[in-house]
Amino acid sequence: MAGTLLEIQGMKRYYEMVSGTVKALDGVDISISEGERIILLGPSGSGKTTLLNCVAALDSPTAGDYSFEGAAVPRDAPEQMTTFRRDNIGYVFQFFNLLQDLTVLENILLIQELSGGRDEKRARELLALVGLEAEVDRFPTEISGGQQQRVAIARSLAKSPKLLLGDELTGNLDSKTSAMVMEVLVKACEAEGITTIFVTHDESLTQYATRVIRLDSGKILSDENV
Ligand SMILES: Nc1ncnc2c1ncn2[C@@H]1O[C@H](COP(=O)(O)OP(=O)(O)O)[C@@H](O)[C@H]1O
Ligand SMILES: [Mg+2]
């Protein structure tokens, strides 16, 4: 049986505003095992990004406990949070944030250099995994949006994260391109043994999940294996 990767208990994230308290997360419990492919669904403002940012140690919850591989996730401590994130977490965003002056291959090599070591063979393998072997020497402006997102995916896999997070990662793509990106992503994460949590408001992405968690007003509405 796969081990528990992430354990979240009673997670709250409140914002104190002049107008009152905003309860972005209001008591969330989730236990995630290695190898799960989770889609976190919810309307705009339901707390999806807040939850993902806490899991990534980009933000700290107001209350609750959470652990990763049995150890507490660091919070309210920027340096430890950065180290935790660097060692464990990959993140794919809606906007691809590729460096425009670097080729596809160079975008991957740069991330490798920043996170341990350049390895061109592995960089080319990752680009092949997302179907971009023919585009390695092109610049981001010379490939399509779907291809750019696949570069961003290869980049997020370059440091072999244990957990890959995506926030509306197909939000900028048409439905056909998003399907292609999701298929490539699922295949790549299975090949690399990476657990995933993807946040979206797009119901059609649930077909790529092993588990669908629905969030509304900072609370879990449902949590089902599919
Ligand atoms: N920095 C912030 N300050 C105040 N309120 C915030 C902040 N970030 C998010 N919120 C509020 O928290 C709630 C959840 O936001 P968010 O997690 O971004 O939702 P989602 O990603 O599901 O659209 C919303 O009501 C939002 O306005
Ligand atoms: Mg969001």
State how many domains the chain has: 1
Question: Which pLDDT score, from 0 to 100, does residue 177 have?
Answer: 85
- When pLDDT is averaged across residues 108-113 and rounded to a whole number, the result is 93
Q: Is residue 3 part of a domain?
A: no
Whether 223 and 211 have beta carbons less than 8 Å apart is answered as yes
- When pLDDT is averaged across residues 79-104 and rounded to a whole number, the result is 92
Q: Is residue 209 part of a domain?
A: yes
- When pLDDT is averaged across residues 69-75 and rounded to a whole number, the result is 97
Taking CB atoms within 8 Å and a gap of at least 24, the contacts of 68-72 are 68/5, 68/6, 68/163, 69/3, 69/5, 69/162, 70/4
C-alpha distances in Å from residue 39, one per residue of 7, 117, 168:
16, 32, 10
Q: Residue 157 sits in a domain of what CATH number?
A: 3.40.50.300
Does residue 62 carry a pLDDT above 70?
yes
- When pLDDT is averaged across residues 195-208 and rounded to a whole number, the result is 94
Q: Is residue 78 part of a domain?
A: no
- Paired tokens of 15: 């914002």
C-alpha distances in Å from residue 56, one per residue of 52, 140, 199:
6, 27, 13
Whether 197 and 166 have beta carbons less than 8 Å apart is answered as yes
The Å distance, Cα 60 to ligand 1 centre, comes to: 14
Q: Is residue 26 part of a domain?
A: no
- When pLDDT is averaged across residues 2-15 and rounded to a whole number, the result is 95
Question: Which pLDDT score, from 0 to 100, does residue 95 have?
Answer: 81
Closest-CA residue to 178 (of 153, 158, 212): 153
The Å distance, Cα 45 to ligand 1 centre, comes to: 6
Q: Is residue 18 part of a domain?
A: no
CB 45 near ligand 1, within 6 Å? yes
Does residue 152 carry a pLDDT above 60?
yes
Question: Which pLDDT score, from 0 to 100, does residue 93 have?
Answer: 82
Q: Is residue 75 part of a domain?
A: no
Q: Is residue 132 part of a domain?
A: yes
- When pLDDT is averaged across residues 53-78 and rounded to a whole number, the result is 97
Burial of 24 (0-12, 13-18, 19+ CB in 10 A): buried
Euclidean distance between CA atoms 56 and 79, whole angstroms: 13
Question: Which pLDDT score, from 0 to 100, does residue 54 have?
Answer: 97
The overall pTM is greater than 0.75: yes
Q: Is residue 13 part of a domain?
A: no
Euclidean distance between CA atoms 223 and 226, whole angstroms: 10
The domain of 42 spans: 36-57+85-225
**At 1, is the pLDDT very low, low, confident or very high (cuts 50, 70, 90)?**
low
CB 59 near ligand 1, within 6 Å? no
CB 13 near ligand 1, within 6 Å? no
